């Protein structure tokens, strides 16, 4: 059958629940690094990277060599949880990268194939260790989760899930933002925990996102993370760090919790941990290791190829300082995107950390209409005064802001239709991006950590041109003047970036 007809045949064979294929009607046939080649011969710059699973990009030589080495050795590919040289090498490299306070007293258990499996196992772990059942998480958290993972891991009579307020620069119920909002959120959380009428029993665990990626890329303020660690430690509540998307250098540190210099009790790892192959892992303090041998089993927890690819990826990121490079390059990309936002009112916010970047699309025309909500937490609105950026932290000699605050607008209406249009225009220009956030209004960039400076320029050029095209189309009736930018040719850039 002709390959070009695959996008038309897919809807007839696969479920309505398919996601990326709806917005990205391409048929990849070859890939290397940042570049994907479609069946139609077109080349694309891939800033989706398998939802961050491709830390080194497509088919990196060290990953391919690690996989070939296992295949050529004749080693078994499926061994459940039996000890093997491949598993031992993976565990040693993983422990070499962990936060020091955890690496010295850690246990690791393998699951598969997705982060949701590991999160479910983490819930069962802390419930068994504490004898408690409730789970605390935060508003808009993803956690590979939350209801489904709880349903499959909790006792039938204990449906406890409590969502607390997380710091946010929009829709803030305290009508503040930045450092003050983070402090208030922490104090409010502590006050609730101290109120026996609100929470009669302490929870079994507390799940924290260092960056709320699926929510629209919101980095948690470092001081707030440290406050959460102090609150949980004082009450003997195991702190579970969700590093499914943020781990392995993505945010400019090897693990996103490293930014705040805290040590969680449990870390849930997936995506990049398998070097592009399916693998999920839970790392936890040895004092929590009280489960019987059959407490949680998984058929594919001994994925030897994924462990080999993961070992190669972890070592390459560590030895080549790719986390530090992600911090420096990400800061430059964020600065350029903020400059772009000054040209186009449809960009309401630029947020991110390292090479996890979000660009929020808003509808300035709707906000100008009489009666548009101002400062109201209404569906589809981004509300709250602009925070004042504080001084940048310096890590490894590179200035690094704690968060990227919203732009100075008191109320902006989320525009999912504009975000979808930007995604389509990016694809036309040979750039693959993701759209996310609670209103599907955030264009997300997750390029591989191996992206070069020239490739980063090509990515930003194509995204800038896509935003301009959408803004111009949106204001074609002459309601608002949009700046005209010099058109760029993307053909040569695609060849160089590949």
pLDDT by residue, tens only, the chain of 498 residues:
566 677 777 777 877 777 777 778 888 999 999 999 999 899 999 999 999 999 999 999 999 999 999 999 999 999 888 999 999 999 999 999 999 899 999 999 998 788 888 999 999 999 999 999 889 887 666 644 445 455 544 443 344 667 777 776 655 555 555 557 777 878 888 888 887 776 667 889 999 999 998 888 999 999 999 999 999 999 999 999 999 999 999 999 999 999 999 999 999 999 999 999 999 999 999 999 998 887 777 788 878 999 999 999 999 999 999 999 999 999 999 999 999 999 999 999 999 999 999 999 999 877 655 444 433 233 233 333 333 333 344 444 444 443 333 434 435 789 999 999 999 999 999 999 999 988 999 999 999 999 999 999 999 999 999 999 999 988 764 444 455 555 565 654 444 444
Query: What's the token pair of residue 112?
Result: 């598969």
DSSP conformation class of 297: -
DSSP tag of 273: G
CA distances, 67 to each of 36, 61, 112 (Å):
21, 10, 18
Strands 106-111 and 43-46, by their bridges, are unpaired
Number of other residues whose CB lies within 10 A of the CB of residue 296: 19
Q: Dihedral of the CA atoms 170, 172, 176, 182 (nearest 10)? A: -100
Question: Among 263, 273, 311, which Cα is nearest to 118's?
Answer: 273
Whole-model pTM? 0.84
Q: Which residue(s) pair with 436 in the sheet? A: 442
> What's 274's DSSP letter?
G
């Amino acid at each position: 059958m002709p390959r070009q007809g695959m996008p038309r045949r897919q809807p007839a064979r696969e479920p309505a629940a398919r996601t990326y294929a709806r917005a990205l009607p391409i048929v990849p046939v070859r890939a290397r690094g940042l570049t994907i080649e479609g069946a139609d011969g077109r080349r694309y710059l891939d800033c989706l990277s398998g939802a961050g699973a491709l830390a080194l990009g497509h088919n990196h030589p060290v990953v391919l060599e690690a996989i070939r080495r296992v295949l050529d050795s004749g080693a078994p590919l499926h061994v459940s949880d039996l000890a093997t040289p491949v598993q031992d090498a993976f565990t040693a490299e993983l422990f070499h990268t962990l936060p020091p306070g955890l690496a010295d007293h850690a246990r690791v258990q393998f699951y598969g194939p997705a982060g949701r499996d590991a999160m479910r196992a983490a819930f069962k772990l802390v419930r068994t260790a504490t004898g408690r059942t409730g789970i605390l998480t935060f508003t808009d958290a993803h956690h590979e989760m939350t209801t489904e993972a709880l349903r499959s891991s909790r006792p039938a009579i204990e449906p406890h899930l409590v969502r607390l307020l997380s710091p946010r620069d929009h829709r803030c119920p305290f009508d503040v933002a930045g450092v003050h909002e983070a402090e208030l959120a922490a104090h409010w959380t502590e006050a609730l925990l101290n109120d026996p009428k609100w929470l009669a029993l302490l929870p079994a665990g507390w799940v924290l996102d260092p960056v709320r990626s699926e929510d629209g890329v919101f980095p948690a303020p470092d001081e707030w993370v440290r406050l959460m660690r102090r609150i949980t430690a004082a009450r003997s509540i195991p702190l579970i760090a969700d590093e499914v998307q943020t781990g392995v250098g993505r945010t400019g540190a090897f693990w996103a919790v490293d930014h705040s210099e805290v040590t969680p009790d449990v870390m849930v790892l997936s995506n990049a941990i398998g070097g592009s192959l399916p693998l999920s892992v839970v790392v936890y303090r040895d004092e929590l290791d009280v489960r019987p041998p059959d407490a949680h089993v998984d058929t594919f927890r001994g994925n030897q190829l994924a462990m080999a690819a993961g070992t190669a990826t972890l070592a390459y990121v560590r030895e080549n300082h790719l986390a530090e490079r992600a911090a420096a390059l990400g800061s430059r990309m964020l600065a350029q995107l903020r400059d772009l936002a000054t040209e186009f009112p449809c960009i309401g916010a630029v947020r991110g950390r390292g090479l996890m970047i979000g660009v929020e699309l808003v509808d300035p025309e709707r906000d100008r209409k009489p009666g548009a909500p101002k400062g109201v937490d209404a569906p589809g609105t981004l509300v709250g005064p602009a925070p004042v950026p504080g001084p940048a932290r310096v890590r490894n000699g590179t200035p690094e802001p704690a968060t990227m605050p919203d732009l100075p607008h008191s109320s902006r209406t989320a525009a999912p239709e504009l975000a979808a249009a930007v995604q389509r225009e990016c694809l036309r220009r040979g750039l693959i991006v993701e759209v996310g956030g609670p209103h599907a209004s955030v264009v997300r960039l997750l390029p591989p950590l191996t992206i070069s400076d020239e490739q980063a320029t090509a990515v930003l050029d194509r995204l800038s041109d896509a935003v301009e095209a959408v803004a111009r189309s949106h204001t074609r009736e002459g309601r608002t003047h949009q700046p005209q930018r010099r058109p760029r040719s993307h053909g040569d850039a695609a060849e160089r970036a590949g």
